A and B are shown apart, each in its own frame.
Chain A
């Protein structure tokens, strides 16, 4: 049966189109402006499609800023942090979900408790401590790695997943003589690939996007991440009205995340559903 276009359906589509415009026009404007000469970004009336295309913004940005270094730093951070978080998080989650020992539940409660505390509440003691022990007074990529890699969130997410795997599976492996480490490596890890993917993607994106931590710790240009660098570049570019360049930089900073998101959409949604809703 072919459905006819009732007023209700027209309203529905109108609502959807309006919502989509609100959500996506800023991105569209960002991409279109990144292809304009500087003076064409602010015109009256607004031009959504560039009149003169200037893709050279995407070439000039590499010489007019330290984009390359910032991207390299951010990539190193994101990869190392994700690897550490995946390993320590899934390992600890196994301990919390499969091994019974006194004090375990109290310990896990401490993990959960800190999830409710925002970083800005304890950033001061943390910063003062790190500034003392880290190389260069905290101004090094190592600080950010340490800051991000041992989050409670990963432990929580992996534990939630492990608890959906039937206990009998590890029981029978135990009877077959597999050690706890063996059960973790040969049974739990292979079964938890979807959860690992969710946690990996979320951690990577969070580390890539993190601004406040790097802004606080990293003070010298060669150590900047893409977010800190872009923010500094914004000030220069706005002063010199280099808006085309600024938008090209913004697009470059978002692009890797956009690609990862398109490829791993399912895992993002699952990760959020697990951490947000179950329990």
Chain B
């Protein structure tokens, strides 16, 4: 189980037995024909893919080693950008810290919420189909509409959320997106709200693979609902849980659009995450070379977690 499947099997090995020349010729002709045929299928997509994705990714590494302002061409710098990044730039430290802060809270919170929701919905109850749809809906709603609604829901003085909190006896409810302390928790909350339905679907798929006999047996042995959850459900769900954990971690590391539309990194730099800093540096300040260096760091962060996911998947598949 993984997001990324390995291409199925290597090409069939050519027979080891020496061939007659005419047969070999026919073989290589067939091979050429297949190659042309294969490329003719792939080419319409590949041309666009190469120009739009592949080339920019490769170019990124070059530009990260250049000085490249709004005017003029990129000039080779070597590793100066990275030296500045890691030793002399407090904004990068803040962005890295904020990204880790987001990850550390968003990942466990969403994991627990989506797992809880899946366990609740994994049974025959009236209205379950409706609930499943409802839970998934935030995930496909546009981020702009979500930001508009939540920013107003969370507005400090008149927003419904703080009114409910006051009603519940909280005298001094948080300032949410306009407060440097509470802006990040607000984004984490909305992020969880948005994504829990998606991960719930993955957990539901995992829950449905658990054989009911296991629960029957546990029941016969006198295990209560809580015990059954910890000793039957959780062990059986381990692959799904791991997968979701890694997906959530990668998703949190690259969090961007949610921050962009809700706070754009503010107030101050309280929600400035790595992706937001890249954007700021490149498209607001026009410092493309240095911004590319930050992007390289993001690239390696995502790569690192993808490799971890990949390796563990392979081990568990064996």
Give the B-binding residues of A (Cβ under 8 A).
8, 12-13, 15-16, 19-20, 22-24, 26-27, 29-30, 33, 41-46, 87-89, 91-92, 94-97, 99-105, 107-112, 114-118, 120-129, 146-147, 149-152, 154-156, 160, 163, 180, 184, 205, 208-209, 211-212, 216, 226-227, 230-231, 234, 243, 246-247, 250, 253-254, 257-258, 261-262, 265, 268-269, 272-273, 275-279
Contacts and interface: CB of A to CB of B under 8 A. Distances in A.
B148 A117 contact: no
B104 interface: no
A116 B4 contact: yes
Given A121-B298, A150-B52, A26 B134 contact: no
B120 interface: yes
A87 B121 CA distance: 37
Nearest to A42: B158
B130 to A, nearest CB: 8
5 smallest beta-carbon distances between A and B, as pairs: A150-B48, A95-B41, A279-B5, A42-B158, A88-B45
Contacts of A99: 34, 37-38, 41
A103 B31 CA distance: 12
Given A12-B120, A46-B163, A120-B254, A101 B1 contact: no
A257 B54 contact: no
Given A42-B159, A120-B278, 9 more contacts: A16-B120, A19-B131, A92-B46, A95-B37, A123-B279, A125-B292, A151-B49, A254-B142, A279-B2
B20 interface: no
> How would you classify the secondary structure of chain B's contact residues: helix, strand, loop or mixed?
helix
B4 A279 contact: yes
B282 interface: yes
B5 A278 contact: yes
A23 B254 CA distance: 24
Interface string B111-144: 0000011001100010100010111111011111
A114 B298 contact: no
Interface residues on B, range: 35 or more
Contacts of B12: 100
Interface string B1-39: 111111110111000000000000000000100110111
A109 B7 contact: yes
Nearest to A258: B137
B159 A111 contact: no
B216 interface: no
Interface in B217-274: 225, 243, 247, 250, 254, 256-257, 260-261
Nearest to B317: A279
A95 B143 contact: no
A162 B6 CA distance: 15
18 contacts: A15-B116, A20-B134, A42-B159, A95-B38, A95-B41, A96-B41, A102-B35, A122-B60, A122-B295, A124-B60, A129-B59, A152-B49, A208-B142, A209-B142, A226-B142, A276-B202, A276-B247, A277-B243
Given A122-B57, A212-B257, A257-B141, A19 B158 contact: no
Nearest to A229: B144
A100 B145 contact: no
B120 to A, nearest CB: 6
B179 interface: no
Contacts of A246: 148
Interface stretch (B82-90, B149-157, B168-176): B149-157
Contact of B131 (A20, A123, A278): A20
Given A155-B45, A243-B152, A209 B140 contact: yes
Given A92-B45, A276-B3, A125 B59 contact: yes
A163 B9 CA distance: 12
Contacts of A109: 7
Contact of B140 (A12, A114, A155, A205): A205
Nearest to A262: B133
Contacts, number: 288
B56 A126 contact: yes
A156 B3 CA distance: 10
Taking each of A102, A118, A149, A230, which has the highest tally of chain B beta carbons within 10 Å of its own beta carbon?
A118
A121 B295 contact: yes
Contact of A16 (B37, B131, B133): B131
B56 A125 contact: yes
A24 B45 contact: no
Contact of A102 (B31, B167, B260): B31
A33 B205 CA distance: 36
Contacts of A120: 254, 256, 275, 278-279, 295, 298
Nearest to A269: B201
Contact of A96 (B3, B42, B148): B42
A202 to B, nearest CB: 9
B160 interface: yes
B71 interface: no
B55 A92 contact: no
A15 B120 CA distance: 8
Nearest to A126: B56
B275 A254 contact: no
A225 to B, nearest CB: 10
A97 B146 CA distance: 39
A64 to B, nearest CB: 16
B241 to A, nearest CB: 13
B285 to A, nearest CB: 12
A265 B133 contact: yes
